[in-house]
Structure 1
């Protein structure tokens, strides 16, 4: 154990007690508000669901929020997989905009947790979403802490989300059955909400020069850095929440809407001296506040700020080149070598691999290694979009093309990729009707938006990905053979994590991506990682490490920093493998046999089997289909 571990654990324990005390006080204040307002704690909940038209208007108003929250909601959903929880995003009124479900039970008032439902304190009494909005701080509300008895079956953790300059725009919440509370849920929601805030800040804040700072130099470049944007004269234009806290600015108001703040008011240095000293270096340097406190900082120009705005959940620098993905596995090394041979030759690439094996990250690396690296990388998940919307998303539409269309129309994903790369993930799930339209685009290199008679020329590199056997789909008429040969210029296979020979280098790489390159993993945890079957592949490993780094807070990562769900998953899979699976089988055969045995043990209950094997239901369905069991 590191000599620094004990102080860090003590600090974490004290912080946790402070958080619990603050939450208890916030709940007490909320109950008093509810009693003053006359909320009936025994009344059945009124389902306060807005109309479909009102919901569509709110979705349009919050389009930017939804765009930047979607990747973090997906990551959060994967982190709490198999806990029967619901990830919820609301607007600043507490109206649910979007959810991601993991099998939350009907008796947890699922009807009240649908998009369009209001969870303000006025409508629901004390609850995580509504109370977080009023208190403007993270909160967990468990069981009978809810003011209304109707909600006592729920366990909820919500965190407010702020845009640039302290504007409260949303909450992110995880709700589940109170009978199955989840340790660490609020910490995970905080981390996801911080990611969303950072994305929104980069997407909306403007300034000529950015100052990235923190009292601890290792935190610069992470989720927790302060970021202040100044104009050319040194006037503060925008600042994120972490920066406000470090500056000592109030977190309950938009300071910049009240008065102008100059660089010299915050830092103990003139603006001209600062520019002369710092704009010529990318290195960290000390910077003092007016109160004498020392920070560490680096600067970035307006161009750097714009180019670093995140478009996907993985930081752009982590996918800067194919070389960075080569951590020693022979099969992955072969895939990288094959791609390099065809790069920049207008040859479409098809990436094969299981869910979570890193197909999008690999495809992003292809883009970043190409001559198109400075142009857009546009990713479309063909399995995630409803069939009725995917055509409009891909091809765009003109004004009035269909009911609910945006007033000025919309540019489709294919046109957005002009000059860059179009990444079609899960292309095997694309409807047949759209396959014909996509084939025409690939042949003619032009698109026609819905409702338009004009063709628009497009030029892009095509990278597709799937976890399915497209040849089999072609054979049964579910995928067009002409489209298959059009997208299959080069096929590369990414290995599943359980097949890779580079686990330790991969872990070091992920820790570097998480800005935790100095983090140390105990031998016990590393041994556990080595024997885990990783049904969620690299994505699951990344989520496990990200959570462990956050919970360890600088200490050596031990078993206590792994979620109980992950440990239970290992125990279940190990029990099946050790007790009932014959020795001498290949890893693939062992995995297949584990699925068969789990189906028998759980009498075909898909949710129970997925929990036992530690995989999503969608992945399980695909495995069952491949084994002719579904």
Structure 2
């Protein structure tokens, strides 16, 4: 492509790659020689993991989300430290055997060790970088396509890179945009967890962007001295992004804005009020204030709750009659010690609904403990649920471990996919519910527990009871109230549901084009709300704050569902079909969509691989 035809971002990447190649040639890197493994020792890796514990805590949720978004591409999501050493990976990985070992935790991807590559070059250039095939300096890596984005903590401190690597012949569309979105989320989490200041100023040139991912945030002490600022804030101030602004003298509020600190505090006393502000250079912004407390000394900030937990029962009641009935019934039994069983297809929002129930209860200040009974290996679920004493089994932690049931004492225990719980554990759970006490493995002491019980399943439990696969006494113990969540294709509130998800994604200003709404309306959504949420999260990143159009939907989504030819009536289970039949239809559809990729199907449907294998075996028998 001619240089003149390149977009600004493409030109910046091309120039950064050219600079990297020049650095490699100056250093004498042999592009034909196989790269050394450059893998640090297990002890050194353990030290780096401990040093970056806060980073890992706040990066994990975004890595999981990113893995789900690109599950069909056989990609690997990689988090490195500021030296380019891989700390954690998630995903399928790449097919190329010659580089697979180089993508394991402990491997270094600095330019010095690997030549031009997305991770190492992003660290040097401090820019998002995509390196495709032959753009890698070393021939050893030219089977890869990699997109990396540097991650900065408060005050422009470079701490990590987030990268997606896959085979060169795998789908590449929009990868860098998705990594940018995920890296921005990690940066926001780190900033709010670590930055110190008495008063926060949230600002943007467009008022509708305040409260979103793209807002600027500056933290000041009580006297109006700047203590911390995020990267978006530096950019909006027109300040350089390649240095720590607070390394020496800390500027005052008056040095930045054309207004006194006292006047701003008086005008912005209410956090709900947006105040116009002008920078010293004359540029206009809108801002609002918020209180900010410094992290306690020596205390690791608590991981934020997942964004999806920000929904209340009132927020979920968005106009669908079946869901409104379920919410009304739940409110009538709330705080009456009545267990609730939530039925619904995979991805219909059962955990989100259960969190909203917890937040509406008198136990909302106490723990909410969720256990996915299908995701835990059968050999570990008993120890996870009931806990264990020291030495209870080989490999047990020293001093034992408190189980999930005991952790939920005083709060709420949510047992997701309870239909997958082994029969032997069903008997133990029944005893806990009857006696209101739990006995850890290897102990003879019973510990009293008091919790609200919420359970969920996408299976027809009555059929499992009849088949002897689920205990009837436990079934009647957990379903004091049974509520059914409708599948997304059955709901009548799609438009309001989309707005709720955009609000959760901190992008309430984003709109959808008429063509996208038409596609969404006729889509059967086998992955239900979880699939819709992932599609919208990806589209928000690609639209970059603007209207979501057809071009912002991934090609596999368009190819699979655009038009009647791709969505025959036989592929849609009717509303009168059993829950089991609906689940089977969703699995078959997902298997077709992902060409039999078990891991991708399991991610889309929210199942463990073991559970999916069991379901597929059942389908073969039928």
Give the TM interval when normalised to the shorter protein.
Answer: 0.7 to 0.9
Q: Equivalent of 1:69, from 20, 38, 59?
A: 59
Gaps of 5+ in 1: 1-13
Q: Verify the 8 A CA contact 1:234 1:262 in the aligned structure 2.
A: yes
- 1:178 shift after superposition: 0.8
Structure 1 equivalent of residue 351 of structure 2: 360
Matched residue SS, 2:342:
strand
* Cα pair distance change 1:126/1:584, threshold 3 Å: closer
CA distance in 2, matches of 1:161, 1:88: 12
Is 2:480 the counterpart of 1:489? yes
Q: Which region of structure 1 is more displaced relative to structure 2, 234-243 or 106-115?
A: 106-115
Matched residue SS, 2:330:
helix
Structure 1 equivalent of residue 304 of structure 2: 311
Matched residue SS, 1:70:
helix
CA distance in 1, matches of 2:15, 2:379: 47
Structure 2 equivalent of residue 295 of structure 1: 285
Q: Which region of structure 1 is more displaced relative to structure 2, 334-343 or 508-517?
A: 508-517
Is 2:439 the counterpart of 1:465? no
- 1:406 shift after superposition: 8.9
Matched residue SS, 2:213:
coil
Q: Which region of structure 1 is more displaced relative to structure 2, 554-563 or 395-404?
A: 395-404
Q: Equivalent of 1:627, from 598, 619, 622?
A: 619
Q: Verify the 8 A CA contact 2:573 2:585 in the aligned structure 1.
A: no
Is 2:53 the counterpart of 1:60? no
* Cα pair distance change 1:354/1:593, threshold 3 Å: closer
Is 2:135 the counterpart of 1:145? yes
* Cα pair distance change 1:397/1:230, threshold 3 Å: farther
Give the 5 Å matches for 1:582-621. Answer: 606-607=596-597, 618=609, 621=613
* Cα pair distance change 1:595/1:222, threshold 3 Å: closer
CA distance in 1, matches of 2:62, 2:268: 34
Tell me the TM-score normalised to structure 1 length. Answer: 0.83
| Deviation sequence 1:67-112 (CA, Å, 0-9, x none) | 3222222222222231222222222232323222246435573333
Give the 5 Å matches for 1:334-413. Answer: 334-384=325-375
- 1:157 shift after superposition: 0.7
CA distance in 2, matches of 1:416, 1:590: 34
| Deviation sequence 1:229-250 (CA, Å, 0-9, x none) | 2222323232222122223444
Q: Equivalent of 1:87, from 71, 77, 89?
A: 77
CA distance in 1, matches of 2:307, 2:244: 30
Structure 1 equivalent of residue 539 of structure 2: 548
Is 2:530 the counterpart of 1:530? no
Tell me the TM-score normalised to structure 2 length. Answer: 0.84
CA distance in 1, matches of 2:398, 2:237: 42
Aligned residues: 609
Q: Verify the 8 A CA contact 2:390 2:396 in the aligned structure 1.
A: yes
CA distance in 2, matches of 1:377, 1:144: 49
Structure 2 equivalent of residue 190 of structure 1: 180
Is 2:104 the counterpart of 1:111? no
Structure 1 equivalent of residue 234 of structure 2: 244
Is 2:170 the counterpart of 1:180? yes
Q: CA RMSD in A?
A: 4.1
CA distance in 2, matches of 1:585, 1:482: 31
Gaps of 5+ in 2: none
Structure 1 equivalent of residue 28 of structure 2: 38
* Cα pair distance change 1:309/1:21, threshold 3 Å: farther
CA distance in 2, matches of 1:582, 1:292: 59
Q: Verify the 8 A CA contact 1:163 1:200 in the aligned structure 2.
A: yes
Matched residue SS, 1:258:
coil
Structure 1 equivalent of residue 17 of structure 2: 27
Is 2:262 the counterpart of 1:269? no
* Cα pair distance change 1:165/1:111, threshold 3 Å: same
